[in-house]
Chains A and B, each alone.
Chain A
């Protein structure tokens, strides 16, 4: 193990994966430090799930190499499996087993000793103690997510790979979840989490944005925003939907996004957009206020650019 590998929970370079002719993951290189919370973002079908499966040995890359917790991702998959907790995007526990039977089974798969108290504890924390004998298939979508999460953390893994763990989970449970994730990270556990929620992206130490199998940017959310050098305005005033239509195609305007009572107008060419803003402001009656574009603006912009480059 090299010195760098010791600091890195995940260290892969040049991973490629094809499904038939389809190039799903292109030259993925990723370095994640121990104790880091790393966010995985990207539109549907961008290859997030596939990348995660490559990391935990569920798929074999067509080329590329790397390590996960210091184990080779091609040759040492069984060691990786023992120390990684993987939560699948789709519910993949057994619907015809009860909640506690599912946890019991998972505990046995990891050869855990003293299963009873650990399972009781997990159920307690989940708040499912009274429903432990219900079939897992009978749980609501959000509860299924929470059960899966508990199941993949049962064996105290050193690295958590979570594929959209909070999809369909209510706000309170989501907040609890993120609090726990930060707690775990403080204890030195590494978390790689894919998500479509911007607020969750903001809560990651670092994040990466994937589109069409390419990792487009990575870094802290600040770095990601800065890297794109977008200019943005928040527009308020009457009849915004009608107004938005008149803005399309004006010089400097790349994206217009409606946010309830405001519009976000974003562009790559700050100077041009400033001129357009100035003239529209003069026309009235709408207000144009300069803002710093958020992650969402950045990602939508990235997606548009990626579409031009890779399709």
Chain B
């Protein structure tokens, strides 16, 4: 059984796939058509109202007023105060990693200025890559601050001038200062389109052989499962990269999405994500008996990917079980990677927490795929 993998066979399979792809007009149409269709369909913003967003607090004043203010934020249910931090650098880090959505900073002398009626600043920094997630929370802040302090400030100079707010609330939207939804939608589209087309196309690849009866011929040759599976994947990796380039072009030129990070890093992430989806597609097509079943399996996987990855709805707005499911899906991590690279300019170290889960997913799927690849016609 121990025939080594053969370059001759592997390249043979790749060449064959390319030729067949070249002659398959419909598939070629899909490669261009699906991105354009989805770009139109999903070009809209979808509103939602997530709560209990993770928040870090940098309290330099440690005063009574500061505490009741934070209590007020907590009571609004939008903010979940997870941690207290001491430095601005820490705040920047947490936002860059996406560990928290907000950092609330209470400056020193907050209480003193407040009591004198000097309108001290309250700084709220938000990770606004996904404006849907932060919009409502930020909108609620001014009201929360006013009611939280109203009771404590009775009889002070601040209360004496009801015309202006006692505190100067400064909102700072990082990464996407204008809250433009397409900044988030376009990277998201990249992920969903790749998920859709990559899984579907490879899903059909093996079942097509089976339906046409050519699988029997392939099985009768010495070609090994790993050669067939990976050989069929390679052409689609190329197609995926073409799709990404098309979409990125549209994102940068039409939607004017900024590109803060490294293009190379982006393409590396994309390649990993493509490979993960392709292995899943090939595995589906080994399990499925015919092309219809392969198609159904693709959609069965596609739906949760689109709903639970943070593309449709902000990830933190979802119930806990949905977040667990989402954590397994490669699309979830891919979205964070693309947003991180394009909008935040993340580096490899910051991206790593979202890279290895995709790799792990892929390895698990390859294992499953080789297990179910039928070496016989049974």
Contact = CB atoms under 8 A, between A and B. Distances in A.
Interface residues of B, number: 30
Given A60-B376, A91-B213, A94-B214, A86 B220 contact: yes
A106 B217 CA distance: 9
Contact of A97 (B16, B215, B221, B378): B16
Given A94-B214, A101-B19, A59 B376 contact: yes
A81 B222 CA distance: 5
Interface string A55-75: 011111000000000000001
Interface stretch (A108-116, A198-206, A254-262): A108-116
B289 interface: no
A309 interface: no
B377 interface: yes
A221 interface: no
Contact of B20 (A91, A97, A108, A112): A97
Contact of A111 (B6, B16, B215): B6
B222 A92 contact: no
A205 B352 CA distance: 69
Interface in A76-115: 76-78, 81-82, 84, 86, 88, 90-97, 101, 104-106, 108-112
A92 B12 contact: no
Given A59-B376, A78-B222, A97 B19 contact: yes
A280 B375 CA distance: 61
B37 to A, nearest CB: 26
B376 A110 contact: no
A109 B12 contact: yes
> Main SS of chain A's interface residues?
loop
B99 interface: no
A53 interface: yes
B23 interface: yes
Given A60-B378, A97-B16, A108-B12, A82 B222 contact: yes
A93 B220 contact: no
A12 B23 CA distance: 44
A86 B222 CA distance: 12
Contacts of A112: 8
Given A91-B213, A92-B213, A111-B6, A58 B219 contact: yes
B220 A88 contact: yes
A60 B213 CA distance: 19
A109 B221 contact: yes
B164 interface: no
B18 to A, nearest CB: 11
A82 B375 CA distance: 15
Nearest to B6: A111
Given A81-B222, A97-B19, A92 B217 contact: yes
Interface string A38-62: 0000000000000001001111100
Contact of A93 (B11, B217, B222, B223): B217
A49 B193 CA distance: 43
B264 interface: no
Contacts of A78: 1, 3, 222, 224
Contacts of A76: 1
Contact of A81 (B24, B212, B216, B221): B221
B377 A108 contact: no
A287 B260 CA distance: 101
Which of B1, B213, B217, B377 counts the most chain A CB atoms within 10 A?
B217
Interface string B204-220: 00000000111111111
A-B pairs, 10 with minimum CB distance? A108-B12, A109-B221, A92-B217, A86-B220, A111-B8, A81-B222, A92-B213, A82-B222, A96-B23, A92-B216
Given A105-B15, A111-B6, 16 more contacts: A60-B376, A77-B375, A78-B1, A78-B3, A78-B224, A81-B221, A82-B3, A86-B220, A88-B213, A96-B20, A97-B16, A108-B11, A108-B15, A109-B9, A109-B223, A110-B221
25 contacts: A57-B376, A58-B216, A58-B219, A58-B376, A58-B377, A59-B376, A59-B377, A59-B378, A60-B378, A78-B1, A78-B224, A81-B220, A81-B222, A84-B220, A86-B220, A91-B213, A92-B213, A92-B214, A92-B216, A92-B217, A94-B16, A94-B214, A101-B19, A108-B11, A109-B221
